[in-house]
Structure 1
């Protein structure tokens, strides 16, 4: 057995594709995977700039270097579960984010100072918890009024 440092192992590893389809993850589980990838990233990230001034098409096509989007797309687990690219539209679809959610979570106007992976991970987890609570509350109200599907 040859002793290797982790970087050597990673650079020479043979990637084996997943057999079959990975289990379907909820939006909250996908966001948790993103948060973990951001925590592993370490160092500053570039916040997305001036999202509130973009048209819907420009918003969905938005890309940038060293952003939370590139961190997500560079994670092989997220790609294996269906993340298609590093555009904001790809992330919004995969993580079930609205335009408003994307702006609140990722835009530079909501980040004072430097955006960090750990800081954004905390923000993403908070968003996921509130989204889950809102969905449960909404479902309960709909059932109460007999409007549930």
Structure 2
């Protein structure tokens, strides 16, 4: 076995700076996924049928070819960061989404059998925005009266 310095490996392996600087926060993951979807905003991606009616054990295993989750799984950065597959449950875990958030752009009840890639990206960008806590919402409600 031949040993190399880290610098030598970087030049040999062609490690990309963008990959090295990628941080693993929920927000950056969601925004990266949105960027991947926005590359072809009119692309039609397949949705999953009636996710809200499936038992959790079934819903978490749901997947289909050419879905928003399949597109995310094609990304080498996400796989290197720990995305294990293109199932509903794995997308929920890896991107730290609620069922309600994920359902909003991968379920057939919202857009039919397919969803525009650009529409899914908009949903992801909304989900990436930090939501105010309960106390902040109550405080705002009291001040706006």
**TM-score > 0.5 by shorter chain:** yes
**Using the alignment, how far apart are the partners of 2:89 and 2:15 within structure 1?**
26
Change (3 A) 1:112 1:65: closer
Q: State the partner residue of 1:77.
A: 77
**Are 2:38 and 2:118, in contact at CA under 8 Å, matched by a contact in 1?**
yes
Counterpart-to-counterpart distance in 2, 1:97 and 1:71: 17
Match in the other structure for 2:131: 133
Give matches, 1:1-149, under 5 Å: 24-41=23-40, 43-111=43-111, 114-129=114-129, 132-134=130-132, 137-138=133-134
Q: 1:62 to 1:114 in 2, by over 3 A?
A: closer
Going from structure 1 to structure 2, the CA distance change for 1:109 and 1:86 (only over 3 Å counts) comes to same
Q: CA offsets per residue over residues 6-37 of structure 1, 9 Å max, x none? A: xxxxxxxx97678xx87642111100111111
Shift of 1:125: 0.2
Residues 31, 124 of structure 1: 8 Å contact kept: yes
Counterpart Cα distance in 1 of 2:108 and 2:65: 14
Q: Which runs of 5+ in 1 are unaligned?
A: 1-13, 142-149
Which sections of structure 2, spanning at least 5 residues, go unmatched? 1-11, 138-145
The answer on whether the counterparts of 2:106 and 2:115 sit within 8 Å (CA) in structure 1 is no
Q: State the number of aligned residues.
A: 123
CA RMSD of superposed structures (Å): 2.7
Question: Structure 1-normalised TM-score?
Answer: 0.70
When normalised by structure 2's length, the TM-score is 0.72
